[in-house]
Amino acid sequence: MSKISPCLWFDGQAEEAAKFYAAVIPGSRVDAVHRAPSEFPGGKQGAVLTVEFTVAGMPFVGLNGGPHFKFNEAVSFQIYTDDQAETDRLTNALSAVPEAEQCGWLKDKFGLSWQITPRRLLELMTDRDARRAKRAMDAMMQMKRIDIAALERAANAAN
């Protein structure tokens, strides 16, 4: 068992969320489903209380705590991608609120925020040539979904 694990508060959808992430993100799985031994603020005895799951190798706990708290953009999970195909696949699978998309950030159907981040974006934005890095960042700031080829073109453009 990991010494630290983020606990995500759901309103009855912890198991659904864990199964969804396990199906969408490689290296993910549902590890355990725990039922409540008695009634609790979010449900009845025998209902799913917590779900232990792994997303891309990182442990999480999903808690069915009821409707009291919602996710917001103050916390997001960043997924590093290796190419445009992986970037597009994860963006398409996770994004449930198109109007919330900005610079690779998205919101899933549970309200959780994600950042789909191509490794190439990070390389371009930390280029030793500050002008190339600026052009890449300026291009990224105009995007809803990350387009690696467009970032490359922007970085390589002449001043």
- The low-confidence residues of the chain, meaning pLDDT below 70, are 1, 159
The pTM of the full predicted model, rounded to 2 decimals, is: 0.92
The values of phi and psi at residue 35, to 5°, are -100, 150
Same fold, 7-64 and 76-156: yes
The domain spans of the chain are: 7-64, 76-156
- The gap from C-alpha 49 to its chain's centroid, in whole angstroms, comes to 23
The CATH architecture of the domain made up of 76-156 is Roll (3.10)
Fold of the CATH domain 7-64: 2,3-Dihydroxybiphenyl 1,2-Dioxygenase; domain 1 (3.10.180)
Spacing of C-alpha 69 from chain mean position: 18
> pLDDT value at position 85?
98
Structure confidence at residue 51 (pLDDT): 98
pLDDT the model gives residue 158: 74
